[in-house]
Amino acid sequence: MSRAAPEPRKTLDPDRVAEWLATHPDFFVGREGLLQQLRVPHPEARGATSLLERLVHDLRTRAEQAEWRLEQLLESARHNEAQYRRTRELVLALVEAPDRDALGQALATQLAEHFATPAVALWCPASLTDDEPRPPQAPRQVLDEHAGSRLAALLDGRASRCTRLTPTDWKRLLPHVGAPRRSGSCAITRLTLGEPLGYLVLASPDPDHFRASMDTLFTEYVGEVVARLLMRLGPHHD
């Protein structure tokens, strides 16, 4: 009489084991010795380590990651606070300007000192300067047809834009500032308040300072403030 073949050895499904342990978190209560016997792969070296050592390592790693994320949040908060303070000082200086020339000069000074923007031009149409007792002072410029066409071409149908600025364009659009030998970069925004009021140009000799991929929200915001103040400030009379 032949003997019956042994039944194949059954193995537990790892997923079912994990599921069962997850629903029975008290399984190891009273079985602490079993915890000390369990061996798991070491996360940084070949071989195995105890489960408790692995848990300590994982907890330490999570703590380091949480600390890094917290530092990133704090750094972002510090940057935002500094940006707010610089923007606040800029707006207050513009609001306190007694006339349009002082407005342009305050704009140029604040942007150079607090926003690393060494060159500014404020192009206004002749209708805003005809009744002034003297020609506009830099960085204000009288918008003529040639400058208006070039600025509109650089904007390419947009309200604002960051782009490269060739030495030729620099000499034409920022005539009061020495042009770099090579191309620089600029942020341009159209000034409007119910009617066209000109253009604001922020420029740098660094070709990567105003990159095409940059957001222009800040430039647009400054342009909106300047447009309102240009309309509020009449011509200055000595």
Write out the chain's pLDDT in tens, 238 residues. 555 556 656 677 878 877 887 887 777 676 666 766 666 666 666 666 666 676 777 788 888 899 999 999 999 899 889 999 999 999 999 999 999 999 999 999 999 999 999 999 999 998 877 777 788 899 999 999 999 999 999 999 999 999 999 999 999 999 999 999 999 999 999 999 888 899 999 999 999 999 999 999 999 999 999 999 999 987 544 4
Count the domains in the chain: 1
Contact 97, 91 (CB under 8 A): no
- Give the whole-angstrom CA distance, residue 12 versus residue 103: 79
Contact 104, 122 (CB under 8 A): yes
DSSP string for 83-129: HHHHHHHHHHHHHT-SSHHHHHHHHHHHHHHHS---EEEEEEEGGGT
3-state helix, strand, coil in the chain (%, to 5): 45, 15, 35
Do the domain assignments include residue 53?
no
Do the domain assignments include residue 228?
yes
Contact 108, 120 (CB under 8 A): yes
Query: What CATH number does the domain containing 228 carry?
Result: 3.30.450.40
Contact 185, 203 (CB under 8 A): yes
Do the domain assignments include residue 151?
yes
Do the domain assignments include residue 32?
no
Do the domain assignments include residue 10?
no
Torsion angle (degrees, nearest 10) of CA 147, 150, 152, 156: -170
Q: Is the preceding omega at residue 135 within 30 degrees of 0, hence cis?
A: no
Domain that holds residue 112: 97-232
Do the domain assignments include residue 74?
no
pTM: 0.72
Contact 43, 32 (CB under 8 A): no
Cα 48 versus chain centre, distance: 45
Do the domain assignments include residue 172?
yes
Do the domain assignments include residue 83?
no
